[in-house]
Amino acid sequence: MNDIQHRVGIKSSADNIYQLLTTDSGLTQWWTNDVSGAGEINALIKFRFNGGGPDFTVVELLPNKRVGWQHSGSVPEAWIGTSIVFELVDDGEQIFVNFTHANWTEATDFMAHCNTKWAVFLLSLKDAAETGKGAPFPNDTQIDHS
């Protein structure tokens, strides 16, 4: 069992962050500019990066508290069987977003790459929530030259 876990603290309303995690118009503000299908439980969200990209099925929605996705489809191969949870915790000063990308089968270079990249996108989520301006693909911060 190998999990990726990140934690960022955001000065914004939980409702605003929840919208950024559960709607096409929200998700396009911080992860990739090409998102379709976001919705209620069982919705299949398609995230696209230059045409390809992962699908996730929405498996958990607790308004302003928790969002869960199960990877669906076959790309990237290393993500098959993985799941993602965003947990929102209000400490009075800020909303902490506890992020988990769980159940990787192997700790590979690709997992390390994705770990670094998730930090980039969660800081993009933070910026989108706080300033209205995230940096979704293709305007995302580059972590290498590949």
Binding site for its own copies (CB under 8 A): 3-11, 93-94, 96, 98-99, 107, 109, 111-113, 115-116, 119-120, 122-123, 126, 141, 143-146
Neighbours of 65 (CB within 10 A): 14
Provide the minimum distance between the beta carbon of 117 and its own copies in the complex, in angstroms, as a whole number: 8
* Closer by beta carbon to its own copies, 41 or else 120: 120
Provide the minimum distance between the beta carbon of 72 and its own copies in the complex, in angstroms, as a whole number: 25
Provide the minimum distance between the beta carbon of 145 and its own copies in the complex, in angstroms, as a whole number: 5
- Reading the block at residue 122, the tokens are 């969660």
Provide the minimum distance between the beta carbon of 64 and its own copies in the complex, in angstroms, as a whole number: 18
* Closer by beta carbon to its own copies, 11 or else 41: 11
* Closer by beta carbon to its own copies, 41 or else 107: 107
- Residue 29 phi/psi, 5-degree rounding, is -85, -10
* Closer by beta carbon to its own copies, 27 or else 97: 97
Describe the crossing of helices 14-22 and 109-131 by its angle, rounded to 10 degrees: 130
Question: DSSP labels for 24-65?
Answer: HHHHTTTTBSEEE---STT-EEEEEBTTB--EEEEEEEETTT
Distance CA 46, CA 27 (A): 11
